[in-house]
Amino acid sequence: MIYYKTNEEIEAIRKSCTLLSKALGEVGKIIKPGITTLKIDKIGDEFIRDHGGIPAFMGYKDFPNSFCISVNEQVVHGIPGKYELKEGDLVSVDGGVIFEGFFGDSAFTFPVGEIGEEKRKLLQVTRESLDLGIQKARIGMRIGDIASAVQEHVEKHGFSIVRELVGHGLGRKLHEDPQVPNYGKRGSGTKIQNGLVIAIEPMVNMGKKDVLQAEDGWTIYTEDKKPSAHFEHTIAIGKDGPEILTTFNFIDELVYGVVA
């Protein structure tokens, strides 16, 4: 069952999303060769708590940390640990925040030092596909319109979309209806209505779409061991179109020196 949000509820979700976006900007500042994924998790966790939020992933279905941190062929749900980032790695940092009873959800894939041209293209295309999907999130459109926009852009550039994992609604819960796949047919699926809040999160593989789950019960990785990228925004649907409640502006400004 889909729970459509009031304007007041959307504003509450925005607070969670803003705090999470700032936390991702903070962790982005320390991402460099030699930093462990556990250190990234610790910095993000402390920032959220210091600003009155609760890390949403900690303890969710017994997940042991505050952020999912996935490196290279790890697609999503990587458990932070002793691994030290290396020059040329890609690292996805996926987090959630609970603030005043509402959830926010976002992810960003960072380059570690200098990366090759194909990895740069993977990051660019994945982020572009997220933007294109968001553009289709309008009243009267359908979830399949979002999905097909993501899929078409990704496959046009020779990459592949993960099928087993999807975006989702959120609000007072981390995962609500509807599911938001990153592949599908235009005009199919749930009709988009005013007050819908969803997380759109393309997971894009450099090689084949096939994935496996690690023995830890969480980490999803590409079967062919080629790199993957993951970007995610929480958005709300209003009469004037989609509104992005999370933002990458803090990352772009703090990490890349780009002011929106």
pLDDT under 50: residue ranges of the chain: none
Six-digit token pair at 114? Answer: 């200098």
Helix, strand, coil percentages for the chain (3-state, nearest 5):
30, 25, 40
> What does the pLDDT read at residue 260?
57
> What does the pLDDT read at residue 257?
72
Q: Map residue 178 onto helix, strand or coil.
A: strand
> What does the pLDDT read at residue 256?
72
Q: What's the rounded Cα separation, in Å, for the pair 99 and 170?
A: 13
> What does the pLDDT read at residue 254?
74
Six-digit token pair at 115? Answer: 């990366």
CB 169 within 8 A of CB 198: yes
> What does the pLDDT read at residue 253?
84
CATH topology of domain 7-256: Creatine Amidinohydrolase (3.90.230)
Of 216, 220, 245, 215, the C-alpha closest to 230 is: 220
Whether the pTM exceeds 0.85: the reply is: yes
Of 169, 143, 192, the C-alpha closest to 1 is: 169
> What does the pLDDT read at residue 184?
96
Six-digit token pair at 240? Answer: 């004037």
CB 77 within 8 A of CB 218: yes
